[in-house]
Amino acid sequence: MATQKLRNFVVVAEELNFSRAAARLFVTQQALSKQLRDLEDAVGVRLLDRTTRSMALTPAGGAFLDSVRESLAALDAGVAAARNASQGVSGTLRLGFLMGGALELTTPILAEFAARHPDIALELRETAFDDPSAGLADGSSDVAIVRLPLAVPDLDSLPLFVEPLVVALPPHHRLAARTSLTAEDVIDEPLAIGRTTDAVWRGYWTLNDQRGGRPPKAVRETTSHTEEMQMVAAGLACTITIAGAQRHTPLAGVRYVPLTGVPGSTVAVAWKHGHRTPAVTRFVAAAQQVRDREPAIVAAIERPPSAS
């Protein structure tokens, strides 16, 4: 029983008029009438009562119509699923991210991807400071939202925004009353830094490029941003962090002072070179679409009010 004959039967049943049905299907009335007779012969029952003036579904035709619609819907869904699978747009996509992800862009990016690709299950994996690559280094993530720079080789990325840095200080620190700070002001301070073997990432957050070769005087290693901020609040160290920390992880008593003269933190969607699967490509496209569609959100992240 050809599926096209079934689809044509549905149109005839909807129109209950051969002339209108033939016009919708771009076939002649004679061809459509013959297809209907062939279908009735195959099913073995009369599906439509028709006269020169009217047409109506028989009880058998009504029951058959319901089944045909369900069958065609299931068939169409199967075809779509097969095509998606062949193009790598079904299954699971593993997304890694550090705490905060892409900040205020995170939710719209995830929502956009889910709306575009409901057949791809998005598996979220948050990593601590010990893996700033968010799973790209060991292959546990297919794509990740990261903060550059990283020491991971062969990394491709799509930048989303560049966020300014601040210095988080204990409330009674000698620099806490300043309205801004430079790298020279803080390079000799005890610094809290994530415990990781990624020397490039670690060097950025300890201001290596601004030290002129001088090593940090004192470094206190942490495993998470929360631990880092508690260390600052306790007066054990200060830390270089992002301006968004004041919005997303406020802590009573911690003073945030803008850090000037240092390149901001680039947040990007990243993946390993040669591993851009169709699913990864679709996630990158969704992220780019949201980034370009939401300039106000990007601007608020890149140019936040002065820290306090």
The pLDDT of residue 88 is: 57
Q: Same domain for 171 and 40?
A: no
* Cα(268)–Cα(253) distance, integer angstroms: 31
**CATH number where 215 lies:** 3.40.190.10
* Cα(152)–Cα(111) distance, integer angstroms: 28
pTM: 0.71
* Cα(49)–Cα(56) distance, integer angstroms: 5
Stretches where the chain sits below pLDDT 50 are 307-308
pLDDT digits (tens, 9 = 90+) for 144-197: 999 999 999 999 999 999 999 999 999 899 999 999 999 999 999 999 999 999
**CATH number where 48 lies:** 1.10.10.10
The pLDDT of residue 308 is: 46
The pLDDT of residue 265 is: 96
C-alpha distance from residue 201 to each of 46, 222, 279 (Å): 75, 14, 27
- Contact predicate 141/96, CB 8 Å: yes
Q: Same domain for 132 and 189?
A: no
Supply the range of the domain harboring residue 15: 3-86
The pLDDT of residue 1 is: 57
Backbone angles phi, psi at 46, to 5 degrees: -85, 130
Q: Same domain for 170 and 256?
A: yes
Q: Same domain for 295 and 148?
A: yes
Q: Is 16 helix (H, G, I), strand (E, B) or coil?
A: coil
Counting the structural domains of the chain, the total is 3
Backbone angles phi, psi at 182, to 5 degrees: -110, 170
Q: Same domain for 242 and 216?
A: yes
The pLDDT of residue 86 is: 66
* Cα(22)–Cα(33) distance, integer angstroms: 9
